[in-house]
Amino acid sequence: MEKKHQINLWYAFVALMLVLMFQSWWTAYTTIEQIPYSQFEQYLKDDKIAEIAVKENTIEGRFRDPPKDSKKYFVTTRVDTTLAEELGKYNVEFTGVVQNTFIRDLLSWILPVLLLFGLWAFFIRRFAEKQGLGGMMTVGKSKAKVYVETDVDVSFKDVAGVDEAKRELKEVVDFLQDPKSYGRLGAHVPKGILLVGPPGTGKTLLARAVAGEAGVAFFSISGSEFVEMFVGVGAARVRDLFEQARKQAPAIIFIDELDALGRARAAGPMSSNDEKEQTLNQLLTELDGFDPSSGIILLAATNRPEILDPALLRAGRFDRQVLVDRPDKSGREAILKVHVKKIKLDPATKLDEVAQLTAGFSGADLATLVNEAALLATRRDAAAVTLKDFNEAIERVIAGLEKRSRILSEKELKTVAYHEMGHALVAANLPGCDPVHKISIIPRGIGALGYTMQRPTEDRFLLSTADLENRMAVLMGGRAAEDVIFGEISTGASDDLQKVTEVARDMVMRYGMDGELGNRVYTEKHQNFLGMPAGDVAEVSDVTQREIDLAIKDSVEKAFLRAKTLLTEHRGDLDEGAGLLLARETLTDQDFPAIRPLAEREKSAAAE
């Protein structure tokens, strides 16, 4: 119920109570006379009373002949009979007084009713909020959280590693601060800006930074909050959101997880959803209806742009798409500098080395990494966070927690040692592979009994056929080592097999790197980002599908045979390295030079 209606009801209730009280008082004042109890007894002795009505606290009656200046009816308050007799002996005028209990009686039933009503309203509202109803009178209201200028304390200096995206959004800030001078040549700011990128790269942080820099109202809402169980509620919330923004213009509307709201509409009747389609249609209408010169900017974020409805992405709606990708090495270093301000860092710690070890990490991953390093340093009572803490934190983020309580048998430990050393030696003896940073046979995470960590020397955005084949050989190095040493294979390579199959599938189906199948793509068109899965398989004939399967199988088998041949040639290094690993549990390239990159070892040998 609206607030003004609630106030009107209270006014009506108070007025009714006042009228009833006035009527009761007026009736008593004009027709009934209040007399003392002692006088009542005297009137009774003088036979001046015609009739009486005895009540619990009062006696009401009618005079035979009303005394001079008296009314026809009277009322008196009852007094204890024994006390009345005693007082009568002393010729004292006395009367009873009934305590006024009106307020007490009123509160005795009003307070319990109000309490019950309050509890009912509280629990019903809590239940409605959990169910997404929000109350029958407020289901059409927007759930957007409004942040005014003082609330948005994020600026561009708090966002690092996405310089290109910041440059794109700087135009929005300039327009919101001074729209007249910005449009002096007739240009106008885009109606909608879509932030696109993998999870954790800082899309929401960028949107808040725009609002903080511009100093305007910031409306933040998730796409899933528009859609409810009642048809039409989502559309009403879209209208209400834009109406609120117009009242507080200039303002920024930010819709997070736009794919929950703007998923492509299905053509078939069986897969349609009227509520979602009405909500999307209302959003499209609002995008067409508002003028960007009014000072309202629509920002949205998604990590799945390929499933958005094409009508959202056309010109005139979301005019600009800004890619917020995973940062490169310099970007990761800049992000680390932002996060280490909150911790006590050892001056000897070089953040560029940490950035080099964290290829593929997003901004959120780096924030978690810094926090994990600080926790590790705190746990060992250190005075500051060192590079050692960062290295251990990287291992925890990538491989999981150490499981020293997981006791392996002697045979299992030996198998794991040869398996991990096989990965390391294949990587060390193939050109172009990332150098091995650390080998461990300490169990980590859910199922990892050991791991081999490689340190990328640079960010790579293009990979050749040889690079991918070398990567596949490294992945198969563990299983190949088991076959060379024990003559049998174990289940320890399950994760390796999954990864090597994905690489082989991509080579055949996405990159056209198979000579028999030719230079074509066998996957559906898919807008892909670093680390995101490939698209669905395109419609191909059974014969072509068989050729694809055989090509993938052939690529994996070649990688296995290549790794096995290489490890057979370096059997001495394999045995020596596995023995050291069993003795120490953890090895680096300083402990075992045979796992250093081939080029580095050749250069060292030439120098000697």
Number of alpha helices (DSSP H) and beta strands (DSSP E) in the chain: 21, 13
End-to-end C-alpha distance for the chain, whole angstroms: 88
5 assigned binding-site residue: no
Question: What is d(CA 167, CA 152) in angstroms, rounded to the nearest whole number?
Answer: 20
- Amino acid code (one letter) for 321: Q
Helix (H) or strand (E) holding 111: helix 102-130
How far is residue 376's CA from residue 367's CA, in Å, rounded to a whole number? 14
Strand order in the sheet with 73-77: 32-34, 73-77, 58-63, 49-54
Q: Which long-range contacts (CB under 8 A, 24 or more apart) does 337-343 make?
A: 337/160, 338/158, 338/160, 339/366, 339/367, 339/370, 340/370, 340/385, 342/370, 343/370, 343/373, 343/374, 343/385
Which residues, at least 6 apart from 463, have a Cβ–Cβ distance to it below 8 Å? Answer: 471
Contacts of 231 (CB under 8 A, 6+ apart): 274, 275, 278
With tokens 């920002």, the residue in question is 299
Query: What span, in angstroms and rounded, lies between the C-alpha atoms of 61 and 301?
Result: 84
| 63, β-bridge pairs | 49
197 in a known ligand binding site: yes
3-state SS, residue 221: strand
Q: What is each CA distance from 98 to 58, 94, 104, in whole angstroms? A: 8, 13, 14
Q: Distance between CA atoms of 282 and 178, rounded to whole angstroms?
A: 30
- CA–CA separation, 247 and 217 (whole Å): 10
Q: Is 202 annotated as a binding residue?
A: yes
Q: Consult the annotation and say whether 586 binds a ligand.
A: no
Tell me if 166 sits within 8 A of 195, measured CB to CB: no
State the Rg of the chain over Cα: 41
CA angle, residues 247, 251, 257, in degrees to nearest 5: 115
With vertex at residue 157, the alpha carbon angle to CA 358 and CA 206, rounded to the nearest 5 degrees, is 75
Annotated active-site residue 225? The verdict is no
Locate 244 and state its tokens. Answer: 């609120």
Active-site entry in 168, 257, 420, 482 = 420
3/8 Cα distance (integer angstroms): 9
Q: What is the token pair recorded at 358? A: 């964290």
Buried b (16+ CB within 10 A) or exposed e, 468-499: bbbbbbbbbbbbbbbbbbeeebbebbeebbee
597 carries a ligand binding annotation: no
Peptide bond into 597 cis (omega under 30): no
419 appears as a binding residue in the annotation: yes
DSSP one-letter code for 497: H
Residue set of the binding site for ATP:
197-204
Residue set of the binding site for Zn(2+):
419, 423, 496
Residues assigned a catalytic role:
420
Residue set of the binding site:
197-204, 419, 423, 496
